[in-house]
Structure 1
């Protein structure tokens, strides 16, 4: 391992750099360039320790943050996560992580880089969004550490803490607002009325409504059974959790709205209640 000074002239100005040359664990010659001798010497110490531990990865062989993010998405898909979940990961990666730090090599990341990312997210996003994006970045770094893609996880001890004053209690619709929505749905037609009653009064999730078939509705007993869901791409699957499998008693007004819709639609048992 050696450090040598390199000088050259560009447009009449002399430039200087310090080149670190070493052999990696496989005996391959590698080199890294630094602006100062002190930076090269600090990197020399890091590489020596990594080679001793057998954890060294050269800068040239390192993945970028973007490439590590792509591996994270692939893992999410292979683990069978909901498409909406990994598409959200992909969106956050594309919009917030890649533009700020995506081209940086994992091995070249410093704690200062991670702290700068945190500060940029806080300056550009709401506290809640910044916290979510930064947590995704830290998950990517933890995955890289687990896969042996980095010798040290420099993001591990960097925290993003927001003030409690940014945390608001959730707001709920008042009953007069719900009644106004139900009244408006009656004027829009049977499908809107049935939709409003099931979602506003009985708490169906949007995915449960998309996957709801007439077979799941028993007008005689006044019950609806939730046993499947459909994501926004119309892929049918089980409800999100064990507790999501449930049978819900229907209010008289909801029963009436569903009965009117069924009489007009004249559906088969496996037809979707909300076909649109």
Structure 2
């Protein structure tokens, strides 16, 4: 058995099995138990290097167990590092972790994770994923390691040392033309999300704003909706200028009136009194419509409208902008109606389509779409 000193610590290295074992002497804990963490290797030199690394970690306050993996690190972050985040955001992150991160680098020991391994992982995923998704999964790993750093489980954040490669081009957003928009509305007339589709298409509100809309923010008599919240962290709208009051076109008022009558009958039957703070768009069981439910129903509408299923609800907003632009509404007014902070944002986000009570949008939509009688 060889005795060595590593800094101020005494250690012993001895043959064991087909290799060598090194034990670092750290004295005794509060219960009088001897502390001798061990490291194994094929040669004395390898064991000594591991003991030196162990001492460096001890002096830096690092407390990671030898078997602590990237997957363990990310799971700790998912459990404790996302407080205050929206449930939908957490679900999205978990899905990316399960499908894009842990199957590839999850088993690597966190302390052994290298920049080269992260580069290889990102390069491999770049063959299938969009640049946006690549940036997000890289960010998740970086967030998780930073969380581990704060808990003294790793010294450096190796994810900050790598660059994200270019991925596959994502599907660009598109807009319904007038004929397609009419077909979608007519296909939606028998759908449980009829009013949702019509309001989003004819008012241009964001889908997360529509999902968060409550009856306290709807004025049927005035024909307006107040966009004061969104299904985001803390319920805030995307930007301060996104808080706006919009005039609703007649067809939108008509479908909101239908929902309001049904809601009034429901409150009467249940004896509910006081201000109605319920969500406007709810399922049959009374729960608010979530993004997955709306996505599924909208695909059915798109299919029934004959435009295929490769559409998503947020493209109703793109279509709103496109239709206003096609009917000579100035970009400054479009920016105000849709809640953008500037025309630059509108031009950037809707460069192919070109926001509060704002009346102009409702007037134009009343000319484009005429509500059905009854």
Q: Give the TM-score range, shorter chain.
A: 0.7 to 0.9
Matched, 1:273 2:280: yes
In 1, distance between residues paired with 2:262 and 2:155? 66
CA separation in 2, counterparts of 1:96 and 1:104? 15
| Aligned residue number for residue 220 of structure 1 | 221
Superposed, 1:118-267 pairs within 5 Å as: 118-122=122-126, 125-162=129-166, 166-167=168-169, 170-176=172-178, 177-186=180-189, 188=190, 192-229=193-230, 238-241=235-238, 243=240, 244-263=242-261, 266-267=264-265
Q: Distance in 2 between matches of 1:20 and 1:110?
A: 25
Whether the 8 Å CA contact 1:207–1:229 is kept in 2: the answer is yes
- The answer to whether the Cα contact below 8 Å between 2:223 and 2:253 also exists between their aligned partners in 1 is yes
Assess if the C-alpha contact under 8 Å between 1:6 and 1:19 holds in 2.
yes
TM-aligned CA distance change 1:87 to 1:32, over 3 Å: same
User: How far off its partner does 1:38 sit?
Assistant: 5.5
Decide whether the 8 Å contact of 1:50 with 1:56 is kept in 2: yes
Q: Is the 8 A contact 1:18 1:34 kept in 2?
A: yes
Q: TM-score, normalised by structure 1?
A: 0.73
Counterpart of 2:289 in structure 1 is: none
List structure 1 runs of 4+ shifted beyond 6 angstroms.
none
CA distance in 1, matches of 2:65, 2:215: 59
Which whole-Å CA distance do the structure 2 matches of 1:265 and 1:182 have between them? 22
Which has a greater percent of strand? 1
Normalising by structure 2, we get a TM-score of 0.57
Contact 2:77 2:147 in 1 (8 A): yes
Superposition deviation, residue 136 in structure 1: 0.5
Counterparts of residues 76-155 of structure 1 (less than 5 Å): 76-78=81-83, 80-122=84-126, 125-155=129-159
Q: Which runs of 5+ in 1 are unaligned?
A: 8-15
Q: Indicate how the Cα distance of structure 1 residues 252 and 124 shifts in structure 2: closer, same or farther if over 3 A, else same.
A: closer
Identify unmatched segments of 5+ residues in structure 2: 1-10, 268-274, 284-374
Please identify, of 221-230 and 136-145, the stretch whose mean Cα deviation from structure 2 is larger.
221-230
Q: Does 2:64 match 1:66? A: no
Please report how far the alpha carbon of residue 140 of structure 1 lies from its aligned counterpart in structure 2 after TM superposition: 0.8
| Separation in structure 2 between the aligned mates of residue 22 and residue 117 of structure 1, nearest angstrom | 35
Aligned residues: 257
Say whether the 8 Å CA contact 1:76–1:86 is kept in structure 2: no
How many angstroms apart in 1 are the aligned matches of 2:43 and 2:165? 34
More deviation, 16-25/216-225:
16-25
Q: Please give the root-mean-square deviation of Cα atoms over the aligned residues, in Å.
A: 3.5
Residue equivalent to 1:10: none
- Alpha-carbon separation, structure 2, partners of 1:196 and 1:59: 51
Q: Which moved more, 1:236-245 or 1:195-204?
A: 236-245
Q: Distance in 2 between matches of 1:227 and 1:45?
A: 58
Separation in 2 of the partners of 1:18 and 1:121? 39
Q: Which has the higher contact order (CA 8 A, sep 6+)?
A: 2
